[in-house]
Amino acid sequence: GYHADRWKKLLIPYSSPTKAYFDTSGQDPFCMYNYLLEMTTWNKSIRRGFIKVKIIDNAGNTVESQMNSEASTFQQYKRVNILTGFHRDIEKIAKISLTFSTKTLIGPKKKLRILQMKLKSLNNPKR
């Protein structure tokens, strides 16, 4: 198992019961590497859908996030925060690839135009 000691200081100050969710992977070593994806889009019309994130290092090693179970709503100039999880960590990211999906089989394909984005490691915040 993995020690949760570093979370103790965050959880104890709450006087009422606190729920904490710790993601684990179904694969050995069972840990997840979490990142926060902050995005601002500039589509004029509202888009609703799912984001999948792929990160790649200089050696070509690739890891892909799972698609979120809940759709996000993207509006012009509004920042959206999406929590993504990976089964492996890539220390020095060379490329980031995003895939936007509405998960609909009929109707026109929609594009998501990104004005700004930031990918922040939650496991290693200084990165």
In tens, the pLDDT along 27-55 reads 666 677 888 899 999 989 998 889 999 99
Residue 24 located in a structural domain: no
With contact defined as beta carbons under 8 Å apart, do 36 and 86 qualify?
A: no
Q: Who's near 93: CB < 8 A, 6+ residues apart?
A: 55, 56, 57, 119
Closest CA to 96 of 35, 55, 50: 55
Residue 64 located in a structural domain: yes
75: domain range? 34-121
**93-121 confidence digits (pLDDT tens):** 999 999 888 877 776 677 889 999 999 98
Which of 1-15, 16-30, 98-112 holds the top average pLDDT?
98-112
Residue 84 located in a structural domain: yes
pTM (predicted TM-score):
0.70
Residue 9 located in a structural domain: no
Count up the domains in the chain and report the number: 1
Residue 21 located in a structural domain: no
Rg (CA), the chain: 17
Residue 10 located in a structural domain: no
What local confidence, expressed as pLDDT, does residue 1 receive?
Answer: 44
With contact defined as beta carbons under 8 Å apart, do 115 and 43 qualify?
A: no
Using CA atoms, how far residue 114 sits from 7, 48, 106, in Å, is 34, 14, 24
Report d(CA 76, CA 95) in Å as an integer: 25
Q: Domain containing 57 — which CATH number?
A: 2.60.60
State yes or no: cis peptide before 29, omega within 30 of 0. Answer: yes
**58-92 confidence digits (pLDDT tens):** 999 999 987 777 888 999 999 999 888 888 888 89
